[in-house]
Structure formats: structure tokens, C-alpha cells
Amino acid sequence: MRVLVTGADGFIGSHLTEALVRGGYETKAFVLYNSFGTWGWLDHCAPDAKGEFEVWAGDVRDPNGVRTAMKGCDAVLHLAALIAIPYSYHSPDTYVDTNIKGTLNVVQAARDLNVSKVVHTSTSEVYGTAQFVPMTEEHPLQGQSPYSASKIGADQIAMSFHRSFETPVAILRPFNTYGPRQSARAVIPTIITQIAGGKKTIELGSVKPTRDFSFVSDTVAGFISQLESENGVGEVINVGSGFDISIGEVVQMITDAMGQDIEVIADQERFRPEGSEVDRLLASTEKASRLLEWKPKYGGLDGFGSGLKTTIEWFSTADNLNLYKPDIYNL
């Protein structure tokens, strides 16, 4: 099977590209074009995957480029998106263009080219603050940031093509994925890179919200299960650990694992507006287990501790830490 991965240059996309190569898939990696000729995290991919996939540089906002890249592919895993919540406050137009219009371009091309499956990436942020837990796929959708609103729109566009044209769309809804290569815009890399960079005082936003953290290999396994299953088409399926923990508790686990005693300072720039803060996310993964036979390998407190250990080791390596700017707050 020949598979196109959009967003292959990103955090999850690069791990997914490697996993597809290892699984014997003929893999085409769609990366964001830039004048430097860089391929994001694929420039740093594992030796066993390097040179084993085709690269297409383009932009999901361009329908012709998306269609051309998709020609000859049997399936599409659509991960390309703008994901930073703070930047969505700053530049919401770009989120509509990339996340909604980009998704339209993908499903339209898939329909025109008779692609056998499109796996579209959602996010737990579309749920907003939990109204009940664990959060099933029937939980109400709440656009509490321009980012989450754009992903709600993208999800609806993708599913509308299944309902209107029988385009074989399946939606995977990951909860907070973490692991090696994650952007320092996310809280776990923010904590680790500041400590690994020698800081004794670290700056964070609110430490009260709880999150369901999914280790990246579990999320990747969810994508591949959705790709291979006959049961996922027309369905929205959560993937998460089924365990939530507060940001404050995450800080304590990381400092304990790194053997450091640090002080946390509240940086007001890092706080979300009050109505935009998502206070709790906790996934129900019953549907993923039932339809995809998927279960997290890093579930529960022990699983989270194991995933954190691997993540800390990766970020603490000098060559990897040097790829980050722990002294700068990235929108």
C-alpha cells in the first residue's frame, strides 16, 4: 500500500512516517515547502528509516499541490495543521486557511482520485473543558480557542465528505500526545528543556488543569490501527491513556526524575484567557479498543512515568537540547 502522510515533518508525523516505513508501507512524506530545503524532524529521522520514503514539499493550502502529491496513493494520513493555541489568538486567519481549507483540499483530492481511505487528525481540544469523564466521542464540542474552533471545522468538513460523497474518511482524535521531538510550545518539553538548560526557576502558565497524556508511540499505533481497520470509516475515535494528571503534578514528576529542585513562577503571558482555558481532559478509549483493537501501552501512572523517562532522556541529550530555545517563549 502506498500512503501519503501530510504533516510528515512534524512531531507526530515524523514518528508515524518512520513506523510506516518499518511496517513495509510505501510511504510518501508531504512536508511544508521552505526555501532552506529542510524537512523538519525528518532531517533527524532514525537511521533505519532514512532514505526509505519519498518526500514531497508543498503546502496543504494549495489544492493543486495536494492533488498532485496524492496521485498514485492508496491512502492518506492527514496530520498537517497549525496546532499552537497561543498563536491562534494572534493569527486566527492562518488557522482557518491551514486547518479548514487544508483539510478541504485533502478530502476533495481524495474524492477525485478515489483514494481508498483518508485518516483525518482531530484533537481533544475540540471538546473543551470536560462536562463528564471519561470523555466519549459523543461529548459536546466547544470551541474555546480559535485553534479548537478551526479543528472542529476541519473535522466537520472531513466527515461531511463521507456523508455526502461516501469518501472513506475516518477521524482519529488524539489526546495530549508527548514524547521526543515535541515542540517546546507544549508543556512537557517546556518544563524539561528549561530544567535541562540549567534553570532553577522555570516559567509556566496555569498548573491546575489536568490532561490525558498519550505517549507518541501509542498515538502512532492508533493511526496505523485506523489505517488498517475496516471498522473506522465514518467514525470518530479517541486515543488517549485513560488517565489524567494536573500540570503541577507533571512538574513534580519531571523534577523528581531529573533530580532537580526548582521553583515554578507563574508567567502571565503563558496563561490562556479565562474562558479559553480547558480545565480537564480525560479520554474514554472504549471505542478504540472495540473497533480498532487498540489499547495504550503507556496507560496509567506507571505508563506515564515510563514515557516521561524516555522523553527526558531524549531532551537531555545535548544534540537534541541544542535544537530548542528554552530561554524564549514561543507562541
**CATH class of segment(s) 2-179+214-239:** alpha beta
pLDDT digits (tens, 9 = 90+) for 171-186: 999 999 999 999 988 9
At residue 89, φ and ψ (nearest 5 deg) are -70, -35
Q: How confident is the model at residue 9 (pLDDT cuts 50, 70, 90)?
A: very high
The radius of gyration of the chain's CA atoms, rounded to the nearest angstrom, is 19
Q: Tell whether the model's pLDDT for residue 305 goes beyond 90.
A: yes
* Cβ 87 vs Cβ 331: under 8 Å: yes
- Cell for 161? 465528505
Q: Which of 149, 162, 61 is nearest to 119 (CA)?
A: 162
Residue spans of the domains in the chain: they are: 2-179+214-239
Q: Which of 124, 207, 128 is nearest to 173 (CA)?
A: 124
Helix (H) or strand (E) holding 304: helix 300-316
- Does residue 212 contact residue 288 with C-beta atoms inside 8 Å? no
DSSP annotation of 232 reads -
- Give the residue from 210, 134, 178 showing the smallest Cα distance to 306: 178
Task: Using pLDDT thresholds of 50, 70 and 90, give the confidence band for residue 205.
Answer: confident
Query: What pTM does this model have?
Result: 0.97
Closest CA to 250 of 181, 312, 199: 312
Q: Are 7 and 30 in contact (CB under 8 A)?
A: yes
Residue 256 pLDDT greater than 80, yes or no: yes
CA angle 102, 108, 111 (to 5 degrees): 145
The strand ranges marked E within the chain are 2-6, 26-32, 54-58, 75-78, 117-121, 169-174, 176-178, 201-204, 210-211, 213-215, 236-239, 245-246, 263-266
Q: Which region among 150-154, 165-169, 193-197 has the lowest average model confidence (pLDDT)?
A: 193-197
Residues 118, 76 contacting (CB under 8 angstroms): yes
103: enclosing H helix or E strand = helix 102-112
